[in-house]
A and B are shown apart, each in its own frame.
Chain A
């Protein structure tokens, strides 16, 4: 079945540090890939997405590239801020409007 594996958290970084959160997937067919973010006390929000191989999703300084050859969709940001502290979820969808399969989430804590 479909699955998503994310790196374990929590990840603690100083402000302005470089961020990478690893995500790999297993899926039949050609999934679309997503990163969602959950800020404290809020619902999940779509951060970025990529729908085919080699696509790069980007938003708010975050980027992730759909790598079919390594079945990966790692999230990166060049310089994190305290306000980026949240839980980040990698997810995939193998069909339009079908269910999302989520990873377990990675908590990011950014300190001054």
Chain B
């Protein structure tokens, strides 16, 4: 597609429920990143995909968080048993390997009530 697409744009969920966030990167972009942006804070790295594999998942905050990517395409970030501190905007970005300049999606605003 023309840009990085994320869905849903907004998600309100009850504490303890599981949520799944989706990212469609730009076609041909082999690298894909997930970041979290809490209110009033900077961007926090979660995980990086190169193709199907995730060479850096050092930012995932707990084992409740997982992510997968199929081919060099869609990625899903899953949060199990959501907690209130998971409330944030989750941003996805993609880039071509070896290219600087990531393209970000508009994010998914997650609110855990």
Assembly CA distance A49 to B101 (angstroms) = 8
Q: Which residues of A contact B48 (CB under 8 A)?
A: 98-99
Shortest beta-carbon distance from B39 to chain A in Å:
11
Chain B positions 39 through 57: 1 when the CB is less than 8 Å from some CB of chain A, otherwise 0: 0011101001010000010
Most buried by B among A44, A49, A99, A101: A99
Q: Inside 8 A of B31's CB, which chain A residues have their CB?
A: 97
User: Chain B: how many interface residues by the 8 Å CB criterion?
Assistant: 26
Question: In the assembly, what is the distance between CA of A72 and CA of B93, in Å?
Answer: 25
Q: Which of A13-21, A77-85, A102-110 contacts B (4 or more CB under 8 A)?
A: A102-110
Contact B42 A96 (CB under 8 A): no
Centre residue among A4, A44, A51 by max chain B CB count within 10 A: A44
* CB-defined contacts of B26 to chain A, threshold 8 Å: none
21 sampled A-B residue pairs with Cβ under 8 A: A32-B100, A43-B107, A44-B43, A45-B104, A46-B101, A46-B103, A93-B100, A96-B98, A97-B31, A97-B97, A97-B99, A98-B48, A99-B33, A99-B56, A99-B59, A100-B43, A100-B45, A101-B45, A102-B43, A104-B42, A105-B43
Which residues on B are within 8 Å of A, measured CB to CB?
4, 31, 33, 35, 41-43, 45, 48, 50, 56, 59, 91, 93, 95, 97-107
**A interface list, Cβ under 8 A from B:** 4, 32, 34, 36, 41-46, 49, 51, 89, 91, 93, 96-105
